[in-house]
């Protein structure tokens, strides 16, 4: 379908939020993505983007959080588009969605970069449940300015005692002592080890996902307890 760019705003030095007005209402499950088709040098190129809307369900506005990859084929062109221009996007789809069983357990969400995008609606869905389960977000980035939605997550943690938020920086500066440091893995392992029933959702860069998969397996989680969405690059 052909969507119109309703709004663009910068979320960080490398990430922009694109709000797309759709020609029709679509229904999406928390965690799903759309495929964008863009013509590059006369050739249609497709790229997937997670839906970053705050809540899942029916909508005619799609929110996408997209990182610029200067050497990439699509994102440099996307970053030159303006409000009012049109883009081709698919219906929402994808199997990286919350399992019913996860809504009965504590859940840890682990991400790097724009991997946090699908977690917005997934975390919302967890917190809509009446169950007294905990929801933990461990979000890795290199620098403080790369952390997406920091104020939003802090506010949610203040409002909702079941939600805990841990931003992690791999290249912190001195003033960043309100955030954890290193890589995400050291910071979710404890939660997982202490709670053998926990469910874990992981989204983001290849290398992070690969290491998380190995760690979760080593800790002893079964394949019904951890789920991945791996972005390329």
8-state DSSP, 135: E
Among 28, 65, 165, 191, binds ligand FAD (CB under 6 A): 65
Asked if 71 touches ligand FAD (CB under 6 A), the answer is yes
134 binds ligand FAD (CB under 6 A): no
Q: Which is nearer to ligand FAD, 92 or 191 (CB)?
A: 92
Contacts with ligand FAD: how many residues (CB under 6 A)? 20
Distance of closest approach, residue 232 Cβ to ligand FAD, in angstroms? 4
Q: Whole-angstrom Cα distance, residue 76 to residue 120?
A: 25
Smallest Cα–Cα separation from 59: which of 89, 28, 35, 85?
28
Options 12, 18, 19, 50; binder of ligand FAD; rule CB under 6 A = 50
* Interaction residues for ligand FAD, span 202-221 (CB under 6 A): none
Q: Which of residues 4, 21, 59, 69 is near ligand FAD by CB under 6 A? A: 69
Chain-centre distance for alpha carbon 136: 14
Member of 73, 142, 217, 224 binding ligand FAD (CB under 6 A): 73
Q: Tell me: does residue 49 bind ligand FAD (CB under 6 A).
A: yes
CB under 6 A: which stretch of 59-67, 100-108, 129-137, 204-212 binds ligand FAD?
A: 59-67
Could you tell me which of 36, 35, 31 has the C-alpha nearest to residue 53? 31
Give the whole-angstrom CA distance, residue 87 versus residue 217.
40
Distance CA 165, CA 6 (A): 30
Stretch in the footprint of ligand FAD (CB under 6 A) among 19-27, 41-49, 103-111, 142-150: 41-49
d(CA 204, CA 117): 9
Count other Cβ atoms within 10 Å, centred on residue 89: 20
Q: Does 233 bind ligand FAD (CB under 6 A)?
A: yes
Closest among 107, 110, 135 to 187, alpha carbons compared: 110
Contacts to ligand FAD by CB under 6 A: 33, 47-50, 65-67, 69, 71-75, 114, 117, 229, 231-233
């Amino acid at each position: 379908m052909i969507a119109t760019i309703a709004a663009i705003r910068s979320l960080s030095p490398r990430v922009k939020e694109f709000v797309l007005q759709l020609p029709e209402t679509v229904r999406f499950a928390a965690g799903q993505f759309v495929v964008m088709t863009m013509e590059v040098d006369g050739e249609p190129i497709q790229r997937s983007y997670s839906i970053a809307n705050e809540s899942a369900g029916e909508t005619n506005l799609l929110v996408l959080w997209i990182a610029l990859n200067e050497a990439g084929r699509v994102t440099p062109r996307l970053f030159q588009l303006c409000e009012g221009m049109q883009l081709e996007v698919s219906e929402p789809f994808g199997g990286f969605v919350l399992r019913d069983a996860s809504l009965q357990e504590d859940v840890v969400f682990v991400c790097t970069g724009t991997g946090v995008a699908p977690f917005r609606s997934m975390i919302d869905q967890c917190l809509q449940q009446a169950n007294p389960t905990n929801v933990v977000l461990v979000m890795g980035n290199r620098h403080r300015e790369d952390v997406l939605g920091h104020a939003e997550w802090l506010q949610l943690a203040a409002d909702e005692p079941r939600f805990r938020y841990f931003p992690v920086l791999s290249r912190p500066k001195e003033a960043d002592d309100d955030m954890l440091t290193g890589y995400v893995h050291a910071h979710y392992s404890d939660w997982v080890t202490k709670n053998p029933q926990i469910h874990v959702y992981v989204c983001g860069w290849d290398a992070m996902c690969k290491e998380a998969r190995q760690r979760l397996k080593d800790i002893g989680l079964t394949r019904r307890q951890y789920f991945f969405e791996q972005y390329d690059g």
